[in-house]
């Protein structure tokens, strides 16, 4: 039996945050009924057409769900949703602030009708405060949370390359729902929770927050480090980049002897401690890259690995897809979709005694008729 088998989740979801949370629940066996607009459905279906005509975002976060098309401006559709919620364990939504309340499905109303229901509301900035009604796309939350101020190079602030605010909120919604289900098992009562993108990403900004106790703001360092050196990218002999990190003086000694074959650097007073190496990092980088320029990347990786110096290649996304570690651990499988089978990564938590659910990605309204029959409508 799957961990969440028997749990029904009804989701008024769109874009990434809520769908990412409910996909985690579906992966573990929950039945997830995704409410979509008739005809067009979740607008994230049309972000792009890169996956054989389907949106890459939608494919990523919507497998194993049932799609129910409802126009919630109509009273009949509202009655259908209420009938679903009467049998559901979880209700999650990330519509615009106040939208579910105007539809008659606010937390206060639902708690009175269905005291065992776990209700999760996801928003950009939370249910109150001066930013409550402000639009909250992922980039904008990254800016408001200060992430963009510490990401990129000294001259160019940059956003994260993935929807990190949506992902953070989705994961906190997922773990919050699991926590609420555990609590309900003890008390028999549901609960109401909210997750804001700003506060979720703010939790991940803990290190930069505490860095300000120094009296300074964290600087953008690109792929290097403000307080550790050598750390980051270095050019190799075949015009590629390799990333490495020296964490302590013991590793520095081994690096000088076994990788650079320059034991004299170990005792050079400019580089004798990490603080000195950071202070003289430009001079040290010149010396390191003078050696690295004579060594092809694969040979250099082998030398670093043998010396147990942490290192990595700068992979493209395709090189990650083809990663030998993922291949060796059989981390790829396939799911069906309206445009054929699509390769997907197996979720990252590996259990000894259970497999994940990997059901198809639905078409808009694909399960409407079946769900209405199930409700006797």
Express each pLDDT in 285-338 by its tens digit. Answer: 999 999 999 999 999 999 999 999 999 999 999 999 999 999 999 999 999 999
Q: Domain range holding 60?
A: 8-204+327-374
In a domain, 320, yes or no: no
pLDDT at 226: 82
**Is residue 134 domain-shared with residue 48, that is, in the same domain?**
yes
Backbone angles phi, psi at 19, to 5 degrees: -60, -35
Instruction: Please say whether the beta carbons of 9 and 22 come within 8 A.
Output: yes
C-alpha span between 169 and 154 (Å, rounded): 28
Domain end call among 313, 337, 357 = 313
In a domain, 155, yes or no: yes
H or E segment at 34?
Answer: strand 31-36
Q: Is 120 helix (H, G, I), strand (E, B) or coil?
A: strand
**Is residue 37 domain-shared with residue 66, that is, in the same domain?**
yes
**Is residue 42 domain-shared with residue 94, that is, in the same domain?**
yes
In a domain, 321, yes or no: no
CATH number at residue 240: 3.30.1540.10
C-alpha span between 277 and 287 (Å, rounded): 12
**Is residue 260 domain-shared with residue 341, that is, in the same domain?**
no
In a domain, 87, yes or no: yes
Per-residue DSSP letter, 157: B
**Is residue 118 domain-shared with residue 265, that is, in the same domain?**
no
In a domain, 247, yes or no: yes
Q: Is 41 helix (H, G, I), strand (E, B) or coil?
A: coil
Cβ-proximal residues to 357 (8 Å cutoff; 6+ apart), any chain: 2, 26, 27, 28, 29, 64
**Is residue 92 domain-shared with residue 180, that is, in the same domain?**
yes
For the chain, list residues with pLDDT below 50. Answer: none
pLDDT at 227: 84
pLDDT at 210: 87
pLDDT at 249: 93
**Is residue 98 domain-shared with residue 182, that is, in the same domain?**
yes
pLDDT at 308: 96
pTM of this structure: 0.92
Torsion angle of C-alpha atoms 227, 230, 235, 236, degrees rounded to 10: -160
As for how many domains the chain has, the answer is 2
| Three-state SS sequence of 62-84 | CCCEEEEECCCCCHHHHHHHHHH
Largest interatomic CA distance in the chain: 82
Q: Which two tokens stand for residue 148?
A: 């963009």
**Is residue 184 domain-shared with residue 287, that is, in the same domain?**
no
Q: Which two tokens stand for residue 368?
A: 């409407």
In a domain, 193, yes or no: yes
Q: Which two tokens stand for residue 120?
A: 């999760």
Q: Give the ranges where the chain is alpha helix by DSSP (H).
A: 17-27, 56-61, 75-87, 99-103, 107-113, 138-144, 164-187, 197-204, 206-211, 249-254, 263-266, 274-279, 281-292, 297-306, 317-321, 324-328, 368-374
Total residue count of the chain as it appears in this document: 377
In a domain, 218, yes or no: no
Domain end call among 261, 287, 313 = 313
**Is residue 349 domain-shared with residue 305, that is, in the same domain?**
no
Domain end call among 290, 313, 336 = 313
**Is residue 36 domain-shared with residue 150, that is, in the same domain?**
yes
Residue 339's alpha-carbon distances to 49, 57, 171, 258, 345, in angstroms, are 11, 15, 28, 52, 18
CATH number at residue 22: 3.40.50.10540
Q: Evaluate the omega torsion of the peptide bond into residue 230 and state whether it is cis, within 30 degrees of 0.
A: yes
Instruction: Please say whether the beta carbons of 22 and 91 come within 8 A.
Output: no
**Is residue 306 domain-shared with residue 236, that is, in the same domain?**
yes
In a domain, 222, yes or no: no
**Is residue 309 domain-shared with residue 336, that is, in the same domain?**
no
Q: For helices 17-27 and 164-187, give the axis angle rounded to 10 degrees.
A: 50
Report the Cα–Cα distance between both ends of the chain, in Å, rounded: 30
pLDDT at 1: 79
């Amino acid at each position: 039996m799957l961990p969440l088998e028997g749990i029904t989740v009804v989701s008024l979801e769109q874009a990434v945050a809520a769908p990412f949370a409910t996909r985690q629940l579906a992966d573990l066996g929950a039945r997830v009924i995704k409410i979509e607009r008739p005809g067009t459905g979740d607008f994230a279906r049309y972000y792009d057409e890169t996956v054989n005509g389907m949106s890459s975002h939608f494919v990523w976060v919507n497998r194993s769900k049932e799609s129910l098309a409802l126009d919630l401006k109509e009273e009949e559709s509202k009655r259908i949703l209420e009938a679903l919620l009467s049998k559901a364990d979880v209700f999650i939504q990330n519509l615009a602030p106040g939208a579910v309340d105007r539809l008659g499905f606010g937390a206060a109303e639902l708690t009175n009708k269905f005291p065992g229901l776990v209700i999760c509301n996801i928003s950009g900035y939370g249910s109150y405060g001066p930013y409550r009604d402000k639009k909250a796309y992922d980039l904008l939350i990254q800016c408001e949370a200060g992430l963009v101020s510490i990401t990129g190079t000294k001259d160019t602030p940059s956003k994260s390359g993935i929807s990190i605010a949506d992902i953070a909120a989705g994961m906190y919604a997922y773990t919050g729902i699991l926590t609420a289900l555990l609590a309900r098992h003890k008390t028999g009562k549901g609960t109401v929770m909210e997750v804001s993108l700003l506060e979720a990403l703010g939790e991940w900004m803990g290190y930069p927050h505490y860095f300000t106790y120094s009296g300074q703001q964290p600087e953008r360092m690109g792929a290097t480090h403000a307080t550790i050196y050598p750390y980051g990218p270095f050019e190799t002999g075949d015009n590629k980049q390799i990333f490495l990190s020296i964490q302590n003086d013991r590793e520095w000694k081994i690096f000088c002897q076994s990788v650079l074959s320059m034991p004299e650097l170990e005792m050079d007073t400019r580089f004798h401690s990490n603080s000195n190496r950071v202070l003289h990092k430009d001079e040290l980088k010149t010396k390191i890259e003078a050696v690295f320029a004579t060594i092809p990347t694969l040979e250099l990786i082998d030398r670093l690995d043998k010396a147990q110096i942490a290192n990595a290649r700068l992979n493209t996304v395709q090189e990650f897809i083809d990663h030998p570690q993922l291949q060796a651990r059989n981390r790829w499988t396939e799911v069906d979709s309206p445009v054929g089978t699509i390769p997907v990564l197996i979720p990252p938590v590996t259990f000894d005694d259970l497999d994940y659910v990997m059901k198809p990605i639905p078409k808009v309204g694909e399960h409407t008729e079946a769900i209405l029959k199930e409700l006797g409508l």
